[in-house]
Amino acid sequence: MPNIQKPKRALISVSDKTNLVEFAKSLENYGVEILSTGGTAKILREARIKNIEISDYTGFPEIMDGRVKTLQPKIHGGILMDRSKKNHLADAEKHHIQPIDMVVVNLYPFQQTINREGVTEEEAIEEIDIGGVALLRAAAKNFKHVTVITAIKDYSLILDELKNEDGICLETRRKLAIKAFEKTTHYDETIASYLKNKGGAVELLNLHYEKSHKLRYGENPHQKAAFFRDPANHYPNVTNAKLLQANKELSFNNILDVDAAIKIVSDFSRPTVTIIKHTNPCGVASAEEINTAFEIAYNVDPKSAFGCIIGMNRPCTEAIAKHIVSNKLFVEIIAAPSFEEKALKALETKKNMRLLAIGDLRLNPNDRDIKTVSGGVLVQDADQYVVTNHDLKVVTTVTPTPNEIVAMLFARKVVKHVKSNAVVFATYNPKTKIEQTVAIGAGQMSRVDSVFIARHKGGERLKGSVMASDAFFPFSDGVEEAHEAGVSAIIQPGGSMRDSEVIDKANELGISMVFTGVRSFKH
C-alpha cells in the first residue's frame, strides 16, 4: 500500500461555501476531476471550474427535495472500494464504478438552526444531514485509499501536501479520518440532545467537550487540570465569557467561583450584585441602581469578601470601579454583562484583577447539573425553580407582612445557591427598595449550626430580618435560635415528620412561617 495517495477524483458537497472556489480551483490545477452536488456545482460553474454534477455522474436525479442525492452505489462504491482487493476491483469494473479518492463535506448547519429564535421542530429536522454523514463515514472508513476533509481550515493542509509531496500521506489521511468520525459523533449527539429536550427518553448519556486550555493546576497545586467547553452551548456563562484584562489567567477555583456568581445574579431581574467566596455568597443585594446593590452586597460581610469574586447582572460602572480602587479592595475577579469604558480605565491599575464580560444574562432552559463519582456521573436538571407568592402557604397563626414576603422571596432565591445545610437572613426596606442578605450560614452538618454561624456573623443586624432555609427543620431548635437572633418570619419547604412541633414553636415565639413545598439542597 503506497504511503502517498495522489487524488484523481474528488467529491465536493459543502454547506458552508467559504474558500470553496479557491480550493476547487487548486484541485483542478492539480488535475483532479471534481464531482459535486447541486448548490456546490452551481458555485463552481459560476467560477468556471470544471465539475460533474452528481445526478449526471450517477444517471439518477436528486429526489425528495434533495434528501436523496449521494446515497447511490456509484458514489459509495467509488469511496469504499479497497483498491488492494481484486474482487473489489472486479465488482467496480462490472458495475462501471470509478474510484473516488477525496471526499470534501461540511454538514448541514443543524446547531446554528436550532440556536435561532422561534425555529420549529420541522425546520430543525430538515437540517439533519443524512447523505453528508454517510459520505464522511464511508471515506473515513477507507482512509487507506481516500482523503476525507470536514473542515475548511484543512484545505490549506491538503494543498500544501499536494504541492510538496505530490499527494496526501497516510498519516494525514488517518488524522483526517479520526476528525471525520469525531465530527459525525458530535453531530449525532447534538441531534439526539435536541430531540431529548423535546420530550425523548434519555437512555444513553453522551458528553462532548472540547479542550479549551490547560490550567496551571487544579483545586490544589499538586493536581493537574484542564478546562473543557461544550461547543454546542452558546449561552452567556463563564465558559463563553470574554477575559478583558488577561495579565493573569483564570484558575480552576476561579472558574468555579465565577460560575456560582453568574448563576446567582441570573436569577434576579432587578440590579443585583453577589460577592462570592469558595462558591458561596457572602453577600447579595438588589436595588434600584447597580452601584447601590454593589455597596450593600460588599458590606454585608467585608471580612469574608477579602479576595472575592464579584458578580453583577448589570454593566460594571465607573463608580463601582473607583470604589474598588480608592478603597483598595482585594477583588480577584469582576464578572458583569459588560464594562463601561471609564470603568475599564479606572481598573487598569489593578493589574492582577480579571474582568469577565459575560454578555446579556439569560438562563439556559436545557442546562444540566453533572456531578462525577468514582466510575460514573450523576445528571439532573439544573435547579432553576423560582419560588413565587403562589407557592407560599402560611402555616402559623401570625401572617407575614407584605414587606416580609418580599424579603422572604429574596432570601429563598439566594439560599438555593448556598451549600447545604443553608440558611439566609435577609431584609427589605420599602423606602429604599433595597433587598439584601444580612447573614448567611452555609455547609454545616447540622441546620441549627448553620443558624448559629449566621447569627454570629450578623449580630444586631438580624433583628427584624427574615430567614430562609434550603430544607425543612428537623427539630424546633433552629427556630429558637432564629428567634433569639431577632427573626420575625421564616420561609422553608416543610415536609418534616416534626413539622407540627416546628410550627407550634413558631406560634409560641410569635414568628410567622410559610411553607413552599420546594427543597433546594446543594451538595
Q: Of 187, 17, 3, 36, which Cα lies nearest the Cα of 112?
A: 187
3-state secondary structure of 347: helix
Q: How far is CA 184 from CA 12, 134, 181, 210, 273, in A?
A: 17, 9, 5, 15, 42
242-243/210-215 β-pairing? unpaired
Phi and psi, residue 521, nearest 5° = -65, 145
Number of CB atoms found within 10 A of residue 309's CB: 27
Rounded CA separation 171/180 (Å): 14
Catalytic residue numbers?
141, 278
With beta carbons less than 8 A apart as the criterion, state whether 252 and 219 touch: yes
Cα-based angle 458, 258, 215 (whole degrees, multiple of 5): 130
Number of CB atoms found within 10 A of residue 346's CB: 22
With beta carbons less than 8 A apart as the criterion, state whether 414 and 468 touch: yes
Rounded CA separation 296/294 (Å): 6
Rounded CA separation 431/292 (Å): 14
512-515/489-492 β-pairing? parallel
Q: DSSP letter for 153, please.
A: G
Question: Could you give the residue ranges of the DSSP H alpha helices within 267-384?
Answer: 290-300, 318-326, 341-346
Residue 335, burial from CB neighbour count under 10 angstroms (0-12, 13-18, 19+): buried
Q: What residues have CB less than 8 Å from 328, skipping those under 6 apart?
A: none
